[in-house]
Amino acid sequence: MWNKLKPWIPAIAWTLLIFGLSSVSVFASTIIKLKMVDKLAHAAEYGGLGLFLSVGFFGTLRGARRRWVTLFAILLGLAIGALDEIYQFTVPGRCSDVRDWIADSIGVIIGNRIAVWFYRWKAGGR
């Protein structure tokens, strides 16, 4: 049981951090108001999530094809991003924006690609 859960600890912790930051209404007003900086922050935040979700799937689905890990990690990351945006709609002082979700999605994909590249490199290029 522990061996199946262990690869998911970083993804779970990162997801909790994301939702924790989304719960703080003051946080939105203290961030630099530049749109591009905001989108880059979203992409970086969700890049970490995409990386950690991919690690979780690689650790759980040992021997699975990379395309399945990619599909599962990206779909779960997109769902978490959508839920986060919906959740922010309920937090006073926060706003929900589809452009933030798009930036989140780009980050998830980049994080996944980094993880896939690493696992391919680790496996000797297979």
For 60-110, the pLDDT digits (tens) are: 887 778 888 899 999 999 999 999 999 998 998 888 889 999 999 999 999
For the segment 32-59, what is each residue's pLDDT rounded down to a tens digit?
566 678 889 999 999 999 999 999 999 8
- Per-residue confidence (pLDDT) for residue 65, from 0 to 100: 80
pTM: 0.87
The two counts, helices (H) then strands (E), for the chain are 6, 0
Cα angle for residues 109, 7, 53 (degrees, 5° grid): 15
